[in-house]
Amino acid sequence: MTIGADLVMPKLGLTMTEGTLARWAIAPGALFAAGDTIAVVETDKIAYDVEAPGTGTLAEILVGEGETVAVGTPIARWLASDGPTVAPREATQTPPAPPTATPSVIASAGATGTGDRIIATPYARRLARDAGLDLAAVTAANGRRIRAADIEVALARRAEARTQSALAPAGAPNAAPPSAAGFAFYGVDVRVDRLAGLLEEIDSGMPDLQPSPIHFVALAAARVLEAAGGTIGLQHEGRAARHLPPETTRRLSTIVAADRAEVEAESGTATLIVSDAAGAAFLGRAPTGRGATLGVGALTSVFRPDAEGRPVLCSEISLVLTVSEASTLSDASGFLSRVRTFLESPLVLLAS
């Protein structure tokens, strides 16, 4: 037997008169069990997970995300199944014990260090914290208090800006680098979730190899340079740069071995040097004969929005390519794009 019932805006305190539907956890048509979180409601003081009062199906959403309605207002219609109707919570019912309330107003220095207070609901603070978003950069739509909807707007704008940056030509760096006469700069952030996982597997199954992200970057750069016949150099962990003959750059293990070997006198001209030295990407003093330097940032963990706008923890490295006017490296932006493609698919890189 299936019977319809209303789900109403709960009363979470004696003084509560209205609440904001911050987020729907499920979509119409979705099945749920008693106790499952259906939605998140926020007030000026708390964020509250609305739990299913019984087993059933969400039939219709009546109040959209970001809307504020009075206590007792129907917010959704659900169909109770396999049992008698479960009465919706009435507005006059004794409210449930709310979760520990996070103060809705706290002092914050903010991005500018002015000491201004940032006023936000607890749920908005939680979303911002999970996404690594600075509340000082968020604007409250109502001009008073930052709510979850404001966080979603800010995250969408951040995602759009990063997408535009990723799609821009590599010749347009993500951040303006120091100017250096005679040099051009190309930058890109590379998502390396697969590479990070592969490094963990290698560390577990082959602990003696101990590769690092820079070894994969060197391998990817060598693959791209093969067609042009260029050679490569490697500067890792502050050690002096060493020249790697083309045959040394065929496999990851040989690159790691060469990196551990004693520094030998350089023979030949390196078209590119891959370096993790501080500021390597912006140095206009690359050794004579090296027409380009590929600076490799540290492997970092950052939150990025997924296809549905939810924050997901990702692994990234930043690459900045510095090319001198005398460099023989052609199509620098295409070179950097192909290196990124290899790093995003490390198994293809190892198999090539």
Residue 112, pLDDT score: 29
Is 66 in the same domain as 135?
no
> Is 252 a member of any domain?
yes
pLDDT given for residue 283 in this prediction: 44
Residue 91 is assigned to a structural domain of this protein: no
Q: In the beta sheet, which residues pair with residue 320? A: 187, 295
Residue 68's H or E segment, with its range, is strand 68-70
- Asked if 197 contacts 330 with a C-beta cutoff of 8 angstroms, the reply is no
Find the CATH number of the domain harbouring 70: 2.40.50.100
Q: What is the C-alpha R_g of the chain?
A: 28
Helices (H), the chain: 122-131, 148-167, 193-205, 213-226, 252-260, 332-344, 346-351
Say if residue 203 is in the same domain as residue 329.
Answer: yes
Q: Looking at the domain assignment, is residue 273 inside a domain?
A: yes
The gap from C-alpha 185 to its chain's centroid, in whole angstroms, comes to 24
Q: Which of 125, 120, 95 is nearest to 9 (CA)?
A: 95
First vs last C-alpha separation in the chain: 60
**pLDDT value at residue 228:** 66
Does residue 198 lie within any of the structural domains? yes
Q: Assess whether 198 and 335 both reside in one domain.
A: yes
Assess whether 129 and 231 both reside in one domain: no
Q: What angle do CA 221, 338, 186 make, to 5 degrees?
A: 80
Q: What is the pLDDT of residue 287?
A: 46
Q: Are residues 162 and 176 in the same domain?
A: no
Does residue 282 lie in a domain region? yes
**241 and 261 belong to one structural domain:** yes
Three-class DSSP category at 135 = helix
Residue 86 lies in a domain: no
Tell me the C-alpha distance between 294 and 332, whole Å: 11
Residue 111 resides in a domain:
yes
CATH number at residue 143: 4.10.320.10
**Do residues 248 and 321 share a domain?**
yes
Question: Taking a C-beta distance cutoff of 8 angstroms, is the pair 33, 52 a contact?
Answer: yes
Domain boundary among 142, 166, 190: 166
Beta bridge partners of 69: 19
Q: In order along the chain (352 residues), what is the average pLDDT of each group of 10 residues? A: 75 84 85 85 80 87 88 90 46 39 31 54 78 82 77 76 52 42 78 90 87 92 79 80 76 86 62 75 47 83 79 86 74 86 90 80
Question: Is residue 58 one of the residues assigned to a domain?
Answer: yes
Q: For the chain, how many residues are written?
A: 352
Residue 173, φ and ψ in degrees, nearest 5: -60, 155
Are 125 and 7 in the same domain? no
pLDDT of residue 114: 36
| Residues forming a β-bridge with 58 | 78
**Number of folded domains that form the chain:** 3
* Pairing between β-strand 183-191 and β-strand 47-51 as defined by DSSP bridges: unpaired
Do both 147 and 201 map to the same domain? no
Based on the fold, state whether residues 246 and 278 are members of the same structural domain: yes
Please tell me whether residues 160 and 194 are part of one structural domain. no
State the pTM of this model.
0.49
Give the CATH number of the domain where residue 305 resides.
Answer: 3.30.559.10
Whether residues 157 and 220 share a domain: the answer is: no
Of the candidates 20, 47, 81, which is a domain's last residue?
Answer: 81
DSSP one-letter code for 241: P
Domain containing 27 equals 2-81
